[in-house]
Amino acid sequence: MLSIATLTMNPTLDVAFEIDRILPVHKMRGGNERHDPGGGGINVARVFVRLGGNARCCYLSGGAAGAALDWLVDLHQLVRNRIAIADETRVSTSIFERDSESEYRFVTDGPIISAAEWQECEAAVAEISCDYLVASGSLPQGVPKDFYARIGRLAKERGIRFVLDSSGAGLAHGLEGGGAFLVKPSIGELRALTGKQLQEEEAIIEAAEGIVRRGEAEHVAVTMGHDGAILTNGNGTTRLPALPVEAMSAVGAGDSFLAAMVHAFSAGREPVDALRFGMAAGAAAVLTPGTDLARADDIHRLYGDMSKHHSF
């Protein structure tokens, strides 16, 4: 099994709990409280390690929330490379309303990063030894829009496979660096990237294939929630339907998908098999409450169910 490193520029201290009903003004008491280290790259590392892989987390951290985040990263037994920042790490809150069985998610923009801080992070990433570098999550304020493109070029120069999962400017400018091994936009992120509605499957595939044709990524996996996922590369395009599962929480589904897909690639599996494994992890993630992520047993079970219905 190869090793990965993940980069989380805008991590979160994830808090989740349940209440009976959300009401304005009233003090509402909750239960089943959870605290987890969060943010795209950290979530990817958590699931990758659950699957038996080795992962190092590089992330920015500051303030009281940052100290709690560091403690939780250690609690989850993740190898970390922490870059200290002056501003406060953001807190993300997920609330499950029992009466309606609805989930409410709140997240802030996060800290403002100084030039010295993001440059220190860039230098740290340039020294990390790994086989795959996964840059996942949004870019915080103060970080250049082309930061992920810069990181991708550093990875390419060292023979490291670069994986990108971001949105907005992070995705658009990250692709400009070219040569990513894998990029994983959601359908919403792909629509924002292209500025098109992409209502028909053919339009979605055309947009994904365009990324491959332009040399921006070798593989493009588009996650579409209840509509499944699409994988395109130089050998063609595959679309698979979503697994029917009862959702407990949508938190971390995309990160779990990406972690399992990279895990499959690092184990030498074929791209379509990696897509299946990723979809199994995405479905496994929605089975877990609050800010928990996909569990290995659920991933393997759901992957086995997919294998019974779809030939390789």
Catalytic residues: 255
Q: Give me the half-sphere count of Cα atoms (radius 13 Å) on the Cβ side of residue 256.
A: 26
Cα 54 to Cα 45, 57, 104, 127, 297, distances in angstroms: 8, 10, 32, 17, 18
Which pair of structure tokens corresponds to residue 98? 């029992």
